[in-house]
Structure 1
Amino acid sequence: MARDDLRLAELLCALSVSLDLAMAQPLEKSIRSCLVALRLAQRLGLPPPTQQTTYYATLLRHLGCTATTHEEARLFGPGAAELRPLLERIDPARKREALPVLRQVGRGTGLHRLQYVGRAVVGSGEAQILLAVCEVGSILADGLGLGPEVSTALYQNLERFDGAGTPRGLAADEIAVATRIAEVATQAVIYQYLGGPDAVVTVLGRRAGGWLDPDVVAAYDEQLTEDLDTIDVWQEILEAEPGPVRRIPDDRIDAVAETFAHFVDLKSPYLLGHSTGVAELVDAAAVSVGIDDPRTVRRAALLHDLGRVAVPTGVWERPRELRRTDWEQVRLHPYQSERILARSAVLEPVADLVALHHERLDGSGYPRHAKAGDLPVPARLLAVADVYQALTQERPHRPAYEPDAAALVVLAEVAAGRLDGDCAKAVLGVAGHQVPGHLTSRPAGLSEREVEVLRLLARGRANAEIARELVVSPRTAEHHVQHIYGKIGVSTRAGAALFALRNGLFTP
């Protein structure tokens, strides 16, 4: 990560994709909204500092959106995430617009659906949810160092021009102009997706003076959105950033990453502190496994679970065994994390690591089923730290493991050939456990003796030759060979040789 490349807007544009996923919206929706908002601010003749506030306040408009997913699941049912696109575009002052939401509330919950619908109609807990979104978004923006104007704009995200919004019931000019512009731009982008230019004009016109600032609406025309499907909005928004262009000192990158770690971990009370806990473990253990510069793996630890936000909270909080459809979503979250981070050249080294944090040495991990030969030491370290930290935290389906019990599980994973022994020793050591000797992990649960046999087999030795070299009976050698074939899932010498190569079994 070269210092010259540490541009704040590029970093935040990449991370804004996680906001789109959390809101179940198309990717780059936040960036598109930001571009339209900036164009509106320029058309209104606002000074550059206000344009810059509008830029960041719109790009990060949904920064507080993970804070309430737990409460939303209780209020609207396990499928609450599917309601977010609806809730973002309906005008709550128009009762007819709320009907599609009620049709979706509590779906799939059987007899319990009436309870969810009843809570939604009464609005039980809704005010606290809305307040939390505003409050957390504002606090996180402050953590990003964006200044009080952006924090204020995000706190006022759910205010309405007519004073019927939340949390303070501000009206008209009492609301930050950046917030008023962001709302019009966001609605324009949403309805451009849904119905095209005519739909945008109709909706904005109907909401002007109520939900939306009529002066901002009057400044809008379809020229502001007509090119969104033909330009590279990513490049366009970076080039359009109001000056002065803001950069991040190297010693502030971790603070930005940590803010998004908090954003992710707010997804569920069960996840609080997970990402930062993993980061502390890898940071302390990195040097002992030969990682001279732990910054990249620490940042990967802070950001490794960004893809979690794309998975409904009801899945993460399921108290019983996950269903097949749940697992399909869970298995994709490392890919989603990589997808978010790889959008930025600054974050590419981090993206490469987060993609691998659920892979295992024997190929039993996900989503790629990568094996030892494809897993660098930083990825192995991240995997161990992730497992240990998760075990020591409560989950819906189990209580937290005591530290010593968690350490035993990690050691069992090493013995089974799934986690790296040296990385496990390093992580457990910084966590306060005494781990004597050298831990060796072998793929597919192979024993040390079976690894010896596999090396000879791969080099073309017959069973009798293996028996002579290892000083065992031919029958024992044959048993070893058959067990090895069964464990690694091949049936030929060439297949065994390839397995050994891919898993680094010819190197110490």
Structure 2
Amino acid sequence: MADDELRLADLLCALSVSLDLAMAQPLEKSIRSCLVAIRLSRRLGLSAVDQRTVYYATLLRHLGCTATTHEEADLMGPGVAYLRPLMERTDPASKRESLNVLRQVGKGTGVRRLQYLARTLTTNEAPVLLAICEVGSMLAERLRLGPEVAAAIYQSMERWDGAGTPDGLAGEEIAEATRIAEVATQAVIFTSLGGPAAVEAAFRRRQGRWLDPSVVEAYDQELVSDLEGIDVWQETLDAEPLPHGKADRLEEVAEAFAHFVDLKSPYLFGHSTGVAALVDQAAHRLRLDDGERATARQAGYLHDLGRVAVPTGVWERSSGLRRGDWEQVRLHPYQSERILARSTALEPVAALVALHHERLDGSGYPRQSKAPELPVAARLLAVADVFQALTQERPHRAALSPEAAADVVLGEVGAGRLDGDCARAVLEAAGQQAPGRLTSRPAGLSEREVEVLRLLARGRSNAEIARELVVSPRTAEHHVQHIYGKIGVSTRAAAALFAMQHGLFTP
């Protein structure tokens, strides 16, 4: 599907699931809130233009939520990620509700809990909240959603009574989209917790304080009563105000969400964009066609979306990962795939990101896939991810120099875990010298070319080779021509004889 045929809502609904994961909320919570908000806006008689602002401001309400996870973990303890659902529904003006959050701070940290409690009680939280608002607004601008959406997201922590942040706006000074988004979001949260009675009780306490009274008055149970029995995803797509936004800049969407992920920890800054750049340059060196190259580059941007489901404290642990930590880490490629596969347009990208921690010998995760199951773009992504990570500081080690990182990558090639051709392409893209030959195959054949040769010798056509190796027919044809040139033949039969003479039929 061409970019200009894609609906922006389809992409952003899919990617909004990463916001739910980052907030430790049920999947589709953002989508449900969006649907309720758009229903509310229609009941309130908003124009189509204003409804569009409500739609995207609610769907992407938590776009800045990864901006402060590092500070939150330092302030409230490594388990703060699990407190986010509680904090989101807590009225900070209520001493009783705030005390309930305080009881959970630092739980499970032993004697250090007193430190976390003291920090929470004495630290001014305003800079943390401001960062969330600023980052969400900036990312909305990067997504080209318009200044109204960016402003509404920036104001997402303001309150009707003026006791909110970052600017202490009150009443109708607050964007109408923000006021509607808040009521819709709380309606979805409290419906899931206790049904209509819980929503009514929450709104009764908060109307005129946290929430706009007129929006609360427009709300009733009918707006959420069917959510459990409908396809919320499709209903939300259908509810997008006309004209539908087009995803004519898929690369910008991917890059914006790469920044969203990489903000989760200072150790990750620039990781996803760095991987995307390496993959793009290396794909050119490997002569992948334009479509494959674009998909690989997009996978580079989005491969780590699933990281947001893992608490920041795990990624920033300076000691070895504990068993429970490791289980969460092993699942993050699956989470990335799960997010992206929800959009038809992103399915090819989802298939690649699911494989970025797999290895040729089956030692990777989460599926333990082996070489025949790993297309060249996935192998390329794996190498780029390794190299980029090695050149960045991590809690348990200093950043490696590019030269040292290249040595590690070559060691992984020698151990049979990373692809030699892809390693050479990535290292050259990174400005590093790679050995002229990373394998001992005859005539300088690469491991990938040996795979192609085996299929060619067995009578496979270029199209069949392409299907089996998950590449384009044009790429398969390039491989065949390079093989013929290297081994000095021009027919399939002669290539088959060469393969037999050199024992290349056995992996």
* TM-score, scaled to structure 2: 0.86
Task: Give 1:285's match in structure 2, choosing from 282, 285, 288.
Answer: 282
Contact between 1:163 and 1:170, CA under 8 Å: does it hold in 2? yes
The residue number in structure 1 matching 2:117 is 117
Superposed CA deviations along residues 270-321 of structure 1, whole A, max 9, x for unmatched, are: 0000000000001001022231121000000000000000000000000111
Report how far residue 438 of structure 1 moved. Answer: 2.0
The residue number in structure 1 matching 2:260 is 263
Contact between 1:384 and 1:424, CA under 8 Å: does it hold in 2? yes
Contact between 1:414 and 1:441, CA under 8 Å: does it hold in 2? no
The residue number in structure 2 matching 1:138 is 137
The residue number in structure 1 matching 2:461 is none
> Structure 1: 5+ residue runs without aligned partners?
443-447, 456-504
Code of the aligned partner of 2:276: A
Report how far residue 237 of structure 1 moved. Answer: 0.6
Contact between 2:5 and 2:247, CA under 8 Å: does it hold in 1? no
Matches within 5 A, 1:370-389: 370-389=369-388
The residue number in structure 2 matching 1:475 is none
Report how far residue 441 of structure 1 moved. Answer: 9.2
Superposed CA deviations along residues 449-492 of structure 1, whole A, max 9, x for unmatched, are: xx9xxx9xxxxxxxxxxxxxxxxxxxxxxxxxxxxxxxxxxxxx
Report how far residue 202 of structure 1 moved. Answer: 1.4
The residue number in structure 1 matching 2:52 is 52
Contact between 1:139 and 1:151, CA under 8 Å: does it hold in 2? yes
Count of aligned pairs between the two proteins:
446
Q: Classify the secondary structure of the residue corresponding to 1:440.
A: coil
Matches within 5 A, 1:325-404: 325-404=324-403
Superposed CA deviations along residues 87-145 of structure 1, whole A, max 9, x for unmatched, are: 000101001011221121111211110111112223x0411110000000000000000
Provide the C-alpha distance between the structure 2 equivalents of 1:278 and 1:202, rounded to a whole number of angstroms: 48
Are residues 265 and 441 of structure 1, via their aligned partners in 2, closer, same or farther at CA, if it must alter by over 3 Å? farther
The residue number in structure 2 matching 1:484 is none
The residue number in structure 2 matching 1:308 is 307
* TM-score, scaled to structure 1: 0.86
Superposed CA deviations along residues 130-176 of structure 1, whole A, max 9, x for unmatched, are: 00000000000000000000000000000000000000000000000
Provide the C-alpha distance between the structure 1 equivalents of 2:505 and 2:199, rounded to a whole number of angstroms: 63
Report how far residue 71 of structure 1 moved. Answer: 0.2
Q: Classify the secondary structure of the residue corresponding to 2:68.
A: helix
The residue number in structure 2 matching 1:101 is 101
The residue number in structure 1 matching 2:296 is 297
Range with greater deviation from structure 2 (106-115 or 70-79): 106-115
Contact between 2:3 and 2:250, CA under 8 Å: does it hold in 1? no
The residue number in structure 1 matching 2:32 is 32
Superposed CA deviations along residues 394-426 of structure 1, whole A, max 9, x for unmatched, are: 000000001100000000000000000000000
Code of the aligned partner of 1:292: D
Code of the aligned partner of 1:290: R
Provide the C-alpha distance between the structure 1 equivalents of 2:331 and 2:3, rounded to a whole number of angstroms: 32
Contact between 1:72 and 1:80, CA under 8 Å: does it hold in 2? yes
Provide the C-alpha distance between the structure 2 equivalents of 1:121 and 1:437, rounded to a whole number of angstroms: 60
Provide the C-alpha distance between the structure 2 equivalents of 1:97 and 1:121, rounded to a whole number of angstroms: 15
Provide the C-alpha distance between the structure 1 equivalents of 2:137 and 2:506, rounded to a whole number of angstroms: 52
The residue number in structure 1 matching 2:501 is none
Are residues 212 and 290 of structure 1, via their aligned partners in 2, closer, same or farther at CA, if it must alter by over 3 Å? same
Contact between 2:4 and 2:247, CA under 8 Å: does it hold in 1? no
The residue number in structure 1 matching 2:88 is 88
Provide runs of 4+ in structure 1 moved above 6 Å. none
Code of the aligned partner of 2:352: L
Code of the aligned partner of 1:276: T
Report how far residue 2 of structure 1 moved. Answer: 2.6
Code of the aligned partner of 1:259: A
Contact between 1:360 and 1:419, CA under 8 Å: does it hold in 2? yes
Contact between 1:69 and 1:267, CA under 8 Å: does it hold in 2? yes
> Structure 2: 5+ residue runs without aligned partners?
442-446, 455-503
Contact between 1:315 and 1:326, CA under 8 Å: does it hold in 2? yes
The residue number in structure 2 matching 1:226 is 225
Superposed CA deviations along residues 233-257 of structure 1, whole A, max 9, x for unmatched, are: 00001111001101022xx111110
Q: Does 2:438 correspond to 1:425?
A: no
The residue number in structure 1 matching 2:210 is 211
Report how far residue 507 of structure 1 moved. Answer: 7.8
Provide the C-alpha distance between the structure 2 equivalents of 1:441 and 1:331, rounded to a whole number of angstroms: 33
The residue number in structure 2 matching 1:6 is 6
Provide the C-alpha distance between the structure 1 equivalents of 2:352 and 2:26, rounded to a whole number of angstroms: 25
Provide the C-alpha distance between the structure 2 equivalents of 1:136 and 1:11, rounded to a whole number of angstroms: 20
Provide the C-alpha distance between the structure 1 equivalents of 2:384 and 2:505, rounded to a whole number of angstroms: 27
The residue number in structure 2 matching 1:273 is 270
Provide the C-alpha distance between the structure 1 equivalents of 2:232 and 2:97, rounded to a whole number of angstroms: 31
The residue number in structure 1 matching 2:437 is 438
Report how far residue 440 of structure 1 moved. Answer: 2.9
Contact between 2:152 and 2:175, CA under 8 Å: does it hold in 1? yes
Provide the C-alpha distance between the structure 1 equivalents of 2:159 and 2:3, rounded to a whole number of angstroms: 41
Contact between 2:11 and 2:247, CA under 8 Å: does it hold in 1? no
Provide the C-alpha distance between the structure 1 equivalents of 2:368 and 2:239, rounded to a whole number of angstroms: 41
Superposed CA deviations along residues 363-403 of structure 1, whole A, max 9, x for unmatched, are: 00000000000000000000000000000000000000011
Q: Classify the secondary structure of the residue corresponding to 1:196.
A: helix
Report how far residue 5 of structure 1 moved. Answer: 3.8
The residue number in structure 2 matching 1:254 is 251
Q: Classify the secondary structure of the residue corresponding to 1:86.
A: helix
Code of the aligned partner of 1:48: A
Provide the C-alpha distance between the structure 1 equivalents of 2:96 and 2:430, rounded to a whole number of angstroms: 56
Provide the C-alpha distance between the structure 2 equivalents of 1:275 and 1:507, rounded to a whole number of angstroms: 37
Q: Classify the secondary structure of the residue corresponding to 2:103.
A: helix
Are residues 102 and 441 of structure 1, via their aligned partners in 2, closer, same or farther at CA, if it must alter by over 3 Å? farther
Superposed CA deviations along residues 423-442 of structure 1, whole A, max 9, x for unmatched, are: 00000011111113221399
Matched-pair identity in %:
73
Provide the C-alpha distance between the structure 2 equivalents of 1:130 and 1:3, rounded to a whole number of angstroms: 35
Provide the C-alpha distance between the structure 1 equivalents of 2:333 and 2:439, rounded to a whole number of angstroms: 26
RMSD of aligned alpha carbons: 1.5
Contact between 2:33 and 2:181, CA under 8 Å: does it hold in 1? yes
Contact between 2:15 and 2:339, CA under 8 Å: does it hold in 1? yes
